[in-house]
Structure 1
Amino acid sequence: MKHHALAAIIGLASTGMVLVGCQTTDPYTGEQQTSRATIGAGIGAVAGAAVGALTGSDSRQRRQRALIGAGVGGLSGAAVGHYMDRQEAELREQLAGTGVSVTRNGDDIILNMPGNVTFAVDSADLRSDFFDVLDSVALVAEEFDKTLIEVIGHTDSTGPADHNQRLSERRAQTVGRYLENRGVDGRRLAMAGFGEEYPIADNNTEEGRQQNRRVEVTLAPLVES
């Protein structure tokens, strides 16, 4: 990962470009709100952009060209927003009450999946109660197949940074492979990990560490060039 390029992208986010206007739905009350979870999802959007820009064969542009070249039609014009609106509504319905937040950032949809429903401490093995969540995501992703999917793993700060980096990559791979095994076209998927670099809560508390130990999934439209 080219950290200087990533830092430049993160710097753009700090101006408010990513976070302004982001709304989340509280998974327990169903009400829309702007909160620290929005900040975390905004970081997820930036991380997704970094994956698209910096990881070669996994880049968003390369995957778009490959899919369109293989005959998977892309979206264009006003169809993009409408398509993502429908997908967002379906995801909100499917994920209500699961603890996963759904955030819209432009035409991208970000799913923030915290540690209490994803992975135990120092583990890349999915919690059994996370299967239903990912099954719901896969169901929607199959229905709306004109989207690219970027899976980003994060950890808390417990343990050495290099260990956490590898752990975050394994977590992203685990989620990505699960979605693929549930029928999502692997050509649509890109996975990456950012270790402990982008916390969204205080690592000095158990609650904060649980929030930081997360997976963020960004769904981006497949757009005709």
Structure 2
Amino acid sequence: MKKLMRAAMAIALVLSVAACTTTNPYTGQSGISNTAGGAGLGAATGAIIGAIAGGKSARVEGALVGAAAGGLLGGGIGNYMDRQENQLRTQLRSTGVSVTRNGNQIVLNMPNDVTFGVAQASLSTRAMQVLNSVALVAKEFNQTRLNVYGHTDNTGAAQYNLELSQRRADSVSSYLYSQGVNGTRIAAVGYGLTSPISSNATEAGRAQNRRVEIVLSPLN
């Protein structure tokens, strides 16, 4: 009975954390923090695992203990990505690179005017400065995977754009590696013209589609 009460207290603490809200300092909007959201997700997962392990009476206690342990794990991942996001926003402020959070993923959108010349795959000096900052954070948060995605507009042949986007993704990947980021954490993929984020009917839209994205996510 005492074990059951302790487990209940633990899960109550985790779920109270998961119910907390936070205000995004960049948008001014309030919502559940990523740390708290991770704790809630972890708690639910842990509860399921805990409930499976044991007989009828053990399942109740197992669910509670599993929820508490899972909540701490999920909250830890969310907190890790929160801190990394804050560092990236600080480092990349006023560089022209946007930082977007999507669950436990952080997306860095590097527009083409920051990274490459027209039809070129050689990094500009400005791009190197940006990637120096990204590498600095990536080395500090070394449990993160970096997926580098190259994209183009629809000007020219599809095969040419695919090859150009791959060369650009490779250039970004190679530079990050040269700055000390472990190569096993980096992958580079070119998508050519297949993943536009705006209409290719206007120059402004095509400019948005010419980009390199670095998507950071937890290794585990």
TM above 0.5, one fold? yes
In structure 2, the residue matched to 1:117 is: 114
Match of 1:100 among 97, 100, 110: 97
1:164-216 deviations in whole A, cap 9, x for unaligned?
00111111000000000000000001110100011112323322222111001
Q: Specify which structure has the bigger relative contact order, considering alpha-carbon pairs within 8 angstroms and separated by 6 or more residues.
A: 1
Deviations 1:24-83 (A, max 9, x none): x9xxxx94399xxxxxxxxxxxxxxxxxxxxxxxxxxxxxxxxxxxxxxxx943211110
Structure index of larger Rg = 2
1:32 paired with 2:36, answer no
- Residue 150 of structure 2 corresponds to 153
Return the letter of the residue paired with 2:102.
N
Report the identity percentage. Answer: 54
Compare the two structures and name the one with the higher helix fraction. 2
- Indicate the residue corresponding to 2:219 in structure 1: 222
Match of residue 124 from structure 2? 127
Q: Does structure 2 retain, via aligned residues, the 8 Å contact 1:146–1:222? A: yes
**Rounded Cα–Cα distance in structure 1 between residues aligned with 2:126 and 2:84:** 23
3-state secondary structure, aligned to 1:191: strand
Q: Distance in 1 between matches of 2:137 and 2:207?
A: 26
Does residue 182 of structure 2 align to residue 185 of structure 1? Answer: yes
Give the gaps of 5 or more residues in structure 2. 1-23, 30-71
- In structure 2, give the amino acid aligned to 1:99: G
Instruction: Pick from 194, 198, 207 the counterpart of residue 197 of structure 1.
Output: 194
Say if 1:121 and 1:203 are closer, same or farther in 2 by CA, change over 3 A.
farther
Unaligned runs of 5+ in 1: 1-24, 35-74
- Aligned CA RMSD, in angstroms, stands at 2.0
Does the C-alpha gap of structure 1 residues 141 and 160 become closer, same or farther in structure 2, counting only changes over 3 Å? Answer: same
Q: In 1, distance between residues paired with 2:83 and 2:26?
A: 19
Structure 2 distance, partners of 1:78, 1:175, is: 31
Match 1:139 to one of 136, 140, 161? 136
Tell me how far 1:141 sits from its aligned partner.
0.2
Does 2:90 align with 1:78?
no
- Counterpart Cα distance in 2 of 1:200 and 1:77: 31
Query: For residue 201 of structure 1, what is the amino acid of its counterpart?
Result: S
How many pairs were matched up?
Answer: 155
Instruction: Report the counterpart of residue 90 of structure 1 in structure 2.
Output: 87
Which amino acid is 2:89 matched to? Answer: R
**8 Å Cα contact 1:115/1:213 also seen in 2:** yes
2: distance between equivalents of 1:33 and 1:99? 21
Distance in 1 (CA, whole Å) between partners of 2:155 and 2:196 is 12
For 1:147, the aligned partner's letter is T
- Report the Cα distance in structure 2 between the residues aligned to 1:99 and 1:208, rounded to whole angstroms: 16
Which has the higher mean CA deviation after the structures are superposed, 114-123 or 199-208? 199-208
4+ residue runs over 6 A deviation: none
Once residues 91 and 27 of structure 2 are traced to their aligned partners in structure 1, the CA distance between those partners, rounded to angstroms, is 16
Match of 1:169? 166
